[in-house]
Amino acid sequence: MNKINKLFAESRNRKLLSLYFCAGCPTLEGTADVIRTMQRRGIDMIEVGMPFSDPLADGPVIQSAGTVALRNGMTTQRLFEQLRQIKDEITIPLVWMGYLNVVMHMGFEPFFQACVEAGISGVIIPDLPFEDYLSDVKPLADRYDLRVIMMITPETSEERIRLIDQHTDGFIYMVSSASITGAQSSFGDAKLDYFRRIDSMQLKNPRMIGFGISNRQTLQAAQNHAAGAIIGSKFVTLLNETGNAEEAIDALFAALNDK
């Protein structure tokens, strides 16, 4: 069974926490240590960000991390090699997150094959058109038992959400707002209404809420209306400040538990 499906099947009675970090930042060779540390500290799932020179969906924190990673020399092939070296140690799902240009440069089939060899269970490609996913990408992903995770926003129509739910597997990435990534101190009424609206649709796929989660209030709001939460910018900031995954996770847990 795919590790993503296994995680959600075995975790129905608790809320999940997924963390994002940008491979190659703050150091080129730190990828393995960050992943090992996250797993040891009880993180349920990891999004491994592939830096890109034109990250449309990313806010300033993740854009800056990507710039550092690229300057450090991170490449797609180097990331896959780093992941292959720790594949047998990692039991939690790894989700590759990056942009379509990176994938098309390799070709979808070589890319998916490299993902499997590196122990990746799913991919998030924010600028992949859903129609192209259905016609060209899904058959290949199914062959390699990889989950292609689709995003929805407050502006996504109910018809499109149900179409995504019908034709994907793993989980749906529920973006808290239509804006770029970035930490927020609270979610307003409009976002909470959006969470409740999607919750009431009773989709077959579990949902993870991301973008803007940085403290106890935003974490609880996300967990109350989904299977769990995804934290990116807050953790990336702490990792850059500390330069140490262990200290960054300590600081993150302190922020999430602070009343």
Active site residues: 47, 58
How far the first Cα of the chain sits from its last, in Å, is: 39
Residues 6+ apart with CB under 8 A from 148: 122, 123, 124, 125, 128, 133, 137, 138, 141, 168, 170
217 burial type by CB count under 10 A (0-12 exposed, 13-18 middle, 19+ buried) = middle
Name residue 159's amino acid: E
**SS3 state at 56:** coil
**SS3 state at 92:** coil
DSSP secondary structure string, 139-154? Answer: HHHHHTT-EEEPEE-T
Element (H, E) at 22: strand 16-22
Element (H, E) at 136: none
Element (H, E) at 48: strand 45-49
